[in-house]
Chain A
Amino acid sequence: MMATKKFMFVNRKAPYGTSYALESLEVVLISAAFDQEVSLAFLDDGVYQITKGQDTTGIAQKNFSKAYKALGDYDINKLYVEEESLSERGLNKDDLMDLVWEDEDEDWAEKPSIIMVNREQLSDVMAEQEVTLSF
Chain B
Amino acid sequence: MALEVDGQTIELDEEGYLVDLSSWTPEIAKALADGEDVDLSDDHWDIINFLREYYEEYQIAPAVRVLTKAVGKRLGKDKGNSKYLYSLFPYGPGKQACKYAGLPKPTGCV
User: Which positions in A face B, CB cutoff 8 Å?
Assistant: 26, 29-30, 32-33, 62-64, 66-67, 69-70, 73-74, 104, 108
Contact = CB atoms under 8 A, between A and B. Distances in A.
Given A29-B107, A29-B108, A73-B70, A66 B58 contact: yes
B60 A70 contact: yes
Interface string B52-63: 000001111011
A32 B85 CA distance: 21
Given A62-B59, A64-B59, A67-B60, A30 B66 contact: no
B63 A32 contact: yes
Interface of B: 57-60, 62-63, 65-66, 69-70, 73, 107-108
Nearest to B107: A29
Contacts of A73: 62, 66, 69-70
A25 to B, nearest CB: 9
A36 B50 CA distance: 27
18 contacts: A29-B60, A29-B107, A30-B108, A32-B108, A62-B59, A64-B60, A66-B59, A67-B60, A69-B57, A70-B60, A70-B66, A73-B62, A73-B66, A73-B69, A73-B70, A74-B63, A74-B66, A104-B69
B57 A66 contact: yes
Given A70-B66, A73-B70, A74-B66, A33 B59 contact: no
B108 A33 contact: yes
A67 B58 contact: yes
A76 B108 CA distance: 15
B18 to A, nearest CB: 15
A62 B59 CA distance: 9
Nearest to B73: A108
Given A29-B60, A63-B59, 6 more contacts: A26-B107, A64-B59, A69-B58, A73-B69, A73-B70, A74-B66
A113 B89 CA distance: 33
Contacts of B57: 66, 69
A102 to B, nearest CB: 8
Contacts of A67: 58-60
B53 to A, nearest CB: 12
A31 to B, nearest CB: 8
B65 A70 contact: no
